[in-house]
Amino acid sequence: MGRGKVELKRIENPTNRQVTFSKRRNGLLKKAFELSILCDAEVALLIFSPSGKVYEFSSHDIHRTIARYKSEVGITQTNDQGFTNMEVWKNEIDDLRRTVASLEARDKHIAGENLSGLGMKDLKQLERQLRIGVERVRSKKRRIVAEHISYLKRRRSSGREQSSPKESGHPQLSRMSFKKETQAQAFITKQMRLEHAKGLNRRIRPG
């Protein structure tokens, strides 16, 4: 059964009026934010409560958005072009500062710092991004290790074809070089097996 039509008139009860204001204000701010994200729109919203408190949302610098609005409707009247340019640059600097602050906050989140302000949804998204990043790093490490092993194998094979310990003028050096390469290959193989075992443990771990 659908809801009945709500009669739009002033709410007389002060408590109910404040509750309704808070709910609808938050809903309006949320819609403005969603519109700016989903549609890549430049949105500015100003709300003044009955007590005179101001609430605002702006996808960009709110002063720049207001100046843009005034320009669009033809109410911008200024003879001081230098002052206007200075304001534009000031707004650009403020945008850059906010961008830098946002990137710094993101870096701290990735490092596991300043997480107190994140909700469950933000934490899950951060965890997913970190998991993807770790898998990419491990994939790159495995690729480098595999390429190095392949290089060592080719080098050892080439050395065997070119000379043997009996034919070499320095048989001791040849044996030492062969031993070092063998040890390096064994160490790299061990590291790959450890990485693989860690990946298996993470996949089969409950939860």
Q: 144-171: per-residue pLDDT in tens?
A: 888 888 888 787 777 666 655 444 444 4
Residues near 76 by beta carbon (within 8 Å), at least 6 away in sequence: 67, 70
What's residue 173's pLDDT? 44
> Residue 5 — left, alpha, or beta (φ > 0 → left; ψ -120 to 50 → alpha)?
beta
User: Token pair for residue 190?
Assistant: 């061990």
Which amino acid is located at 104 in the chain? E
pTM of the model: 0.36
Coil, strand or helix at 87: helix
Domain ranges for the chain: 12-60, 126-161+172-204
User: Token pair for residue 15?
Assistant: 């408590």
142, 189 in Cβ contact below 8 A? no
* Tens-place pLDDT, residues 97-116: 888 888 888 888 888 887 88
What's residue 181's pLDDT? 63
Domain 12-60: assigned CATH number: 3.40.1810.10
